Amino acid sequence: MPNIDTLTHNSWQVIAATEEIGIGVVTTTILLDTQIALTRDADGLPVVWRRSDEQNGDEIDPDTIVERLPVITGYGYIWTSFGTPPKELFPIPEYAEPDRVNMSCGSIGIHVSAPRAVENFLDMGHFPYVHTDILGAEPHTEVKEYDVEVSEERDEVLATKCKFFQPRAALSATEGMEVEYVYRVPHPYCSVLYKSSPEAPERRDVIAIFLQPVSEDRCRAHLLQSMIDSTSTVTDLRRFQQTIFGQDKPILENQYPKRLPLDPRSETPIRADKSAIAYRRWLSQKGVTYGVIPLAS
């Protein structure tokens, strides 16, 4: 059994999109190498427990489940923990705004560790190569200098003033423009991206990735969008996100080693990798060992 560090053990970890879990029906999944099962009760509230011999799709009466794991719902997803989690999830205040279109955009398995997927989400240099003609296009490949800070009070990594020229920054965009992004990492396996909404430029669209650490070299990516968009359908918005994610998946699965190496001498950073370097250091400082290759002691 791999060594699960204290922080990972006690954090909330995402496991499913709430509306996809049938009431009175078992869904099985794996979290931190452990088999778990979940369902929702008659009021729609999630119930999560360590799986014994339940099969996916079995009918179940949630009242019969006595030994339950802690559970919380947030941002359209169900989260659980094997330890003693905090009272609340990290904040995404925009989600509660009344005119937002909030949706989950799918849960996709990737054969790579959760931290590698977070780093890919923070990276802009790959836009012209992996998301060609959508999030970037040659020859506009430059990643200009941006700011990174690690906020102790909020306990997050924050990257601001990230600018990139995009041919088609969002579904509603019709021509290319330079967009400005803000990235947050409020949890070792989650990241939130803010970009100005084409429809309401003074407000920001929010895209978040919540990674479920299935094993040290596998994860499931759960995507959230919280948009100001009165014209696109949810289906179209989802399809756009899934296209982007479908392009990242084969690249991530061709990355070695699968666990994120925290030793600065494992890989070659450039100035555009400032947020990734801050993220790797932050994981080291927090003592995260699951899904990473820690610094040699």
Which positions touch another protein (CB under 8 A)? 119, 123-126, 128-130, 138-143, 250-251, 254-257, 263-272, 274, 277
Helix (H) or strand (E) holding 276: helix 274-285
Instruction: Compute the least distance from the CB of residue 272 to another protein, in Å.
Output: 4
Closer residue to another protein, CB minimum distance, 106 or 257:
257
For residues 83 and 125, which CB has a smaller minimum distance to another protein in the complex?
125
Q: How far apart are CA 216 and CA 110, in angstroms?
A: 12
- Residues 6+ positions from 57 with CB-CB distance below 8 Å: 25, 26
**The tokens 């429809």 sit on which residue?**
199
**Between 244 and 277, CB nearer to another protein:** 277
Give the alpha-carbon dihedral of 243, 245, 250, 254, to 10 degrees.
160
213: which 2 tokens? Answer: 């650490």
Closest CB to another protein among residues 227, 262: 262
Smallest gap, in angstroms, from Cβ of residue 108 to another protein? 19
In angstroms, what is the minimal distance from the CB of 193 to another protein?
Answer: 18
Cα separations in angstroms, 218 against 21, 29, 112, 265: 22, 12, 5, 24
Q: Which is nearer to another protein, 2 or 264 (CB)?
A: 264
As measured in angstroms, the least distance from the Cβ of 73 to another protein is 34
Q: How far is the CB of 2 from another protein (least distance, A)?
A: 17
Closest distance to another protein from the beta carbon of 250 (Å): 8
Find the Cα–Cα–Cα–Cα dihedral 17, 22, 24, 26, rounded to 10°: -70
- Which CB sits closer to another protein, 38 or 211? 211
CA distance 227 to 196: 10
Beta-bridge partner residues of 224: 104, 208
Judge contact between 166 and 135, C-beta under 8 A.
yes
